[in-house]
Structure 1
Amino acid sequence: MTDEKPLRADARRNRTRVLEAAERVFTARGTSAPTEEVAREAGVGVGTVFRHFPTKEALLEAVLFARLHRFADEAEATVAADSSDPGDAFFGFLTGWIEMSGAKNAYFEALSAAGVTVAATGAVIGARLKDALGVLLSRAQDAGAVRKDLIVEELIPVIIGTAKAAEYAGPDLRNRTVCLLFDGLRPRQA
């Protein structure tokens, strides 16, 4: 049990505004963008930013986890929707994962460079994503859209490698790389 008091409504609103502004600023300018710019974007003073996030690293970590939680929520919603086209749902999820990974990696690198070890919360999010991926993979395999011999434990490093490569490729090469990956995941033609 924590001794933290719940935030007042105005403080919750300010915290949310700061997180949303930080995500916009870091997306547009990179994780090295100054905290003062986040405060300006949020329409609050820099003291308000530091009241909620005592260090820039705490702000980066909060934005990272907000993004990851949102992505895990979207993955679980995709599973719950039980698409009429399991192949599209599976490949759409992989595309989202690859796109999200570039941003995630930038946050992890900035935090690592600052000597911050990312909290175990990441493991919980990772488990949620792995579970969603397993369900979507199984459905796509049952529908004949994905090769039957593929397992989640093989797929995750492939996604991570593709996402890492996509960070360094221009849009055309990135799209081609993703298409090659997807072609390799589809069943072999006789």
Structure 2
Amino acid sequence: MASRERRADAAANRDRIVEVARVELSKSNGAIAELRLHGIAKAAGVGQGTLYRHFPTREHLLAEVYRYELSQLVDAVAPLLEDHSPIEALTRWLDRLVEYARVKRGVMAAIEASAWQNLYSDQHHRLDEALGLLLERGKAAGELREEIDVPDVILLLGALSRIPETEWDTRAPRIVTVVIDGLRPH
């Protein structure tokens, strides 16, 4: 029983560390240089040794934040489709994607290229499946153009990567609106 309690405590510590890092990255618009590991440990209520036991490097912590954000994004699809029309669910999901992209920009810059490739290949099929489900439902409801597919939307969303950081808050929502308008049937 004590072993189970220790595992539960360790998992709770890990989750708090990831959540604090995620919040800090969001506050700093993904600026990795502003991510102070000792500050994260303190804010999570753990010692630096605990942080480093879970995440030996900043890169490990950033990769876990990325995984967490991606999971949250993918897991949001079903509830959005339950509560909204397919086009509204897609719009709300893309709005979340914009926030995800803000964090991802900084994470991508900080994670070593080879580690990024492994992380990307392990996780992105989930993102494609989530977007595919949203598109499928939108087409079935007649709210989205039939010829649109996941790669089309991914290419359109590539515009987000070209937005200067100082213009993100005004331009990113506008890009999402243009994408949604372009997905609607004529």
Q: Report the TM-score, using the length of structure 1 for normalisation.
A: 0.80
State how far apart, in whole Å, the 2-side matches of 1:173 and 1:84 are: 25
What aligned pairs does 1:1-190 form with structure 2 within 5 A after superposition? 8-29=7-28, 30-32=31-33, 33-79=35-81, 81=82, 85-112=85-112, 117-118=115-116, 120-159=118-157, 161-166=158-163, 168=165, 169-188=167-186
Q: In the TM superposition, what whole-angstrom CA distance separates every residue of 1:5-47 from its partner, at most 9, and x where no partner exists?
A: 9862222222222122222222223322211111111122211
**Structure 2 stretches of 5 or more lacking a match?**
none
State how far apart, in whole Å, the 2-side matches of 1:165 and 1:104 are: 13
State how far apart, in whole Å, the 2-side matches of 1:174 and 1:26 are: 18
Q: In the TM superposition, what whole-angstrom CA distance separates every residue of 1:44-84 from its partner, at most 9, and x where no partner exists?
A: 221111111111111111111111122112224445x3x56
Cα contact 2:87–2:143 (8 A) shared by 1? yes
Cα contact 1:25–1:41 (8 A) shared by 2? no
Q: State the Cα distance separating 1:119 from its structure 2 match.
A: 6.1
Go from structure 1 to structure 2 and tell me whether the alpha carbon gap of 1:109 and 1:121 turns closer, same or farther (over 3 Å shift).
closer
**Structure 1 stretches of 5 or more lacking a match?**
none
State how far apart, in whole Å, the 2-side matches of 1:17 and 1:105 are: 22
Question: Identity across aligned pairs (percent)?
Answer: 30
| Secondary structure in structure 1 of the residue aligned to 2:115 | coil
Q: What is the root-mean-square deviation of aligned Cα atoms in Å?
A: 2.4
State how far apart, in whole Å, the 2-side matches of 1:131 and 1:92 are: 17
Normalized per residue, the structure richer in helix is 2
Equivalent residue pairs, number: 179
Go from structure 1 to structure 2 and tell me whether the alpha carbon gap of 1:175 and 1:27 turns closer, same or farther (over 3 Å shift).
closer
Q: Report the TM-score, using the length of structure 2 for normalisation.
A: 0.82
